[in-house]
Amino acid sequence: MRIHVVRPGESVYSIARLYDVPSQRIISDNELSDPGQLVPGQALVILEGTRRYTVRPGDSVFRIARRYDVSVAEILEANPDITDPAALQVGQEINIPPREISFGEILVNGYAFPGIDRGMLERTLPSLSFLSIFSYEVRPDGSLGDINDEPLIQAARAARVAPFMVITNIEEGGSFSSDLASTILNNEQLQDTLIENVLRVMRQKNYYGLDIDFEYLYPRDRENYNNFVRKVAARIRPLGYSLTTALAPKISGDQPGLLYEAHDYPVHGALADHVILMTYEWGYTYSPPRAVAPLNEVRRVLNYAVTVIPRRKILMGIPNYGYNWTLPFVEGSAASTISNTAAVELAKREGAFIQFDPVAQAPWFRYYDSNGRLHEVWFSDARSIYASLALVNEYRLGGISLWTIGRYSPQYYLVLNAVFNVRKVL
């Protein structure tokens, strides 16, 4: 696998010649809607496959290997008929193996809303280990709001993907509620009612496990939340269910802030089977323009997390979206969400040149709209996902968690499946 960054004047045809691959493969792999118009700075995934090369005068195994950026050993392994590497014959045809990067095996979780397009779901499931269906909203009396999740559960199991029930402290028609969570976490009877309702749904709908995603908890509820997770683990694990919790991206155990203080990394790391670190939203709807998941910031979270959570339990969060901001940034103004593929299409329409931030490991660009307003767009591409996966490999984590799979980014799955084998648990 290679990642090629388009230069001005390049075409799919010229890039295909550069890597000695069919141009149609580049078009289909990257799902280029208009292959006749590439964007300068756009990233393309090149899956080379095995190619045939005709030996020319002056060629040597070493020279051919260097040209294709593979090792001499790989050339010889792909051509067992070459018994004397020093005696290549002009006109001889040899196999050129693809450059391979193998990080081993990985667990992949994908969050999905019940209304996800079924075609998009079917395309994504082969690259997932877990499907977390978002979400069952907890009510103040310990009951649960219902969702239409059964079609997703059935599709997941048919693809050997383990479906996870997600419970949240999101108020009906609202957002995450500190008060709602506090009501539950300070009442043992309500907790028992909630757990019974969770178990009923998991049994009836054939879930594999439970993902607890309680956010914006009052700091005073930290131990109550720990005890709730203990109680859930004690109830569901003997029944064969798996337990995951989702945690805010902390860089220290005592990090202040409503998002962070009640999320106890060591306790969750000990109790849960997997912990999802929500390593995104540095750039968010109401922030100034910046990368959604700057890799330098994600690294700071991992530096702390691996000291208190077993590495193989950690699933690193990866965003599957970007934002479009209007400049100059005004406090309180809102950016609009944009998919990664739509961001490239926007850059194409506006004639923008895509830049790449080497620190954040994220692409971005600017353009003027029809009203003369300046915009700045940050998103993710093949370079971003590769950098994230390389970080997972570096820290020897258990896997990744995609938020969400509702917008299909073909490059994500091209790169993921090129460097990792996705482990199925069913």
What's the confidence (pLDDT) of residue 419? Answer: 97
Whether 69 has a pLDDT exceeding 90, the answer reads no
Whether 100 has a pLDDT exceeding 90, the answer reads no
Whether 150 has a pLDDT exceeding 90, the answer reads yes
Across the chain, mean pLDDT equals: 97
For the segment 243-281, what is each residue's pLDDT rounded down to a tens digit?
A: 999 999 999 999 999 999 999 999 999 999 999 999 999
Average pLDDT rounded to a whole number, residues 93-115: 94
Query: Residue ranges per domain, the chain?
Result: 2-96, 105-318+390-422
* Catalytic residue from among 137, 215, 261, 376: 215
Q: Percentage of residues in the chain with pLDDT exceeding 90? A: 95
DSSP state of 403: E
CA distances from 200 to 79, 139, 254, 400 (A): 59, 16, 36, 29
Tokens 């299909």 map to which residue? Answer: 408
What's the confidence (pLDDT) of residue 426? Answer: 97
For 2-96, the fitting CATH number among 3.10.350.10, 3.30.230.10, 2.60.40.1120, 1.20.1630.10 is 3.10.350.10
Identical topology for domains 2-96 and 105-318+390-422 = no
What's the confidence (pLDDT) of residue 271? Answer: 98
265 within 8 A of 309, measured Cβ to Cβ = yes
CA angle 112, 117, 122 (to 5 degrees): 80
Spell out the alpha helix ranges (H) of 20-117.
23-30, 61-68, 72-78
Whether 2 has a pLDDT exceeding 90, the answer reads yes
Q: Which CATH architecture has domain 105-318+390-422?
A: Alpha-Beta Barrel (3.20)
For the segment 14-68, what is each residue's pLDDT rounded down to a tens digit?
A: 999 999 999 999 999 999 999 999 999 999 999 998 889 999 999 999 999 998 8
For the segment 365-385, what is each residue's pLDDT rounded down to a tens digit?
A: 999 999 999 999 999 999 999
Whether 336 has a pLDDT exceeding 90, the answer reads yes
105 is known as an active-site residue: no
Whether 10 has a pLDDT exceeding 90, the answer reads yes
CA distances from 180 to 174, 203, 233, 259, 286 (A): 11, 25, 21, 15, 24
What's the confidence (pLDDT) of residue 19? Answer: 92
254 within 8 A of 293, measured Cβ to Cβ = no
What's the confidence (pLDDT) of residue 67? Answer: 87
What's the confidence (pLDDT) of residue 9? Answer: 96
What's the confidence (pLDDT) of residue 50? Answer: 86
For the segment 157-216, what is each residue's pLDDT rounded down to a tens digit?
A: 999 999 999 999 999 999 999 999 999 999 999 999 999 999 999 999 999 999 999 999
Average pLDDT rounded to a whole number, residues 109-126: 97
